[in-house]
Amino acid sequence: MKFDPATNIQKLKQFGEFGDVNPSVTDSATFTFMQAKTMTDTFHGDAEGCFLYSRHWNPSNKYLADALAAMEGTEMGWVTGSGMGAITTAILGICKAGDHIISSMTTYGGTYAFMQNWLPRFNIEVTFLNITDLEAVKKAIKPNTKMIYTETMTNPLLQISDVPELAKIAKSNQLKLVVDNTFTPMIFAPAQLGADVVVYSLTKFVNGKNDCVAGAICADSEFINSLIDVNSGTAMLLGPVLDPYRSSSILKNLHTLHIRMKQHSHNAMYLAQKFKEVGLKFYYPGMPDFKGHDLMKSMMHPDFGFGGMIAIDMETSEKANKLMELMELEDVGYLAVSLGYFKTLFSNSGKSTSSEVPEDIQKVMGLSEGLVRFSVGLDHDIESSWQRINKCLQAL
């Protein structure tokens, strides 16, 4: 039977202490013990099912973490106060001073900045490369390499990472494969494809409302428990914890994710076909002539489509900016960073979410200064949305 993330979430029996159909929100920072020894055992990691302090575990956070683990098919999950909180916690949970990381060159700007500008302070070296070049990945491995890092669908050029092959490379060299699946929840299940750790910005598609910032790490129990170890855990000691009220609201939204992903994908495919008809240069993995199309088909869950992200190349930042301003005036959506919202969001990646990447590296990546990244919304009448976009294109 094919792995089914939506059904795995639906099967969960999570309810409140008084029979509430929604799990109760636990807003306590600390928890009481009936016996002093149990508290001592909890500090030492020897007590099961006990809550100690909300920086470590909170029942509301655990409900969400369990649901995300069900979605990914991992043993455990842990939720953080932001996507960057998840990414940095996972990386620092694996790497120490003197280690080496291989990372996709095409990646979220914040991730790139953390690896390029922050990790060297702690003598952690990063090699950035074209993650679709598997031979280059193999050649980049050093004796001190500890991790391969990528995004299933890279930001903003939508390259598709070959997770199964990267997993083979990682496993044969005793490395951890860490995959950011923010763009493609439910479409891909990286842990089922061989990834050791899956990270998310829950802010985006998973929550879908752009009303909070949150992140998640999904992995085996050994890794998650190492992150929350009272004495040495990266998550426990750096403290990137998510507020339980936010966990509760994200959990509710998670139950509609499968429906939303289908509509995001439907609308993005519609626009891709229209962009092709009018001769625009664009990037969308759902189109047969896209370089990673067949690879994506081999890894994806077909029920949820090819995703809600699409990009067009307007060649210059001036044309890109003019188009975005016109589209906002025509109510296509909002000129804003982020993604996964119910309205369409668009931004000029090189000057916004990828601006941390130096311009010379952007050129090596193939990132045009005129690239406009769309996170296509949940529009019911996508034909009308296309007509407004086309009107703006004609006005340039």
Residue 131 pLDDT: 97
Report, as ranges of residue numbers, the positions in the chain whose pLDDT lies below 70. 1, 350-355
Contact 198, 217 (CB under 8 A): yes
Radius of gyration of the chain measured on its C-alpha atoms? 21
Residues 6 or more apart whose CB falls under 8 angstroms from that of 266 comprise 305, 382
Handedness of CA 232, 234, 238, 243 (dihedral sign): negative
DSSP for 171-214, please give it.
Answer: HHTT-EEEEE-TT-BTTB-GGGGT-SEEEEETTTTTT-SSS---
For residue 143, what are its two tokens?
């004796």
Domain 259-395 fold is: Aspartate Aminotransferase, domain 1 (3.90.1150)
Residue 68 pLDDT: 98
Question: What is the CATH architecture assignment of 12-254?
Answer: 3-Layer(aba) Sandwich (3.40)
Domains of the chain, by residue range, sit at 12-254, 259-395
Contact 217, 227 (CB under 8 A): yes
| Nearest-angstrom CA–CA distance, 338 and 108 | 11
| Nearest-angstrom CA–CA distance, 349 and 358 | 12
| Nearest-angstrom CA–CA distance, 167 and 151 | 13
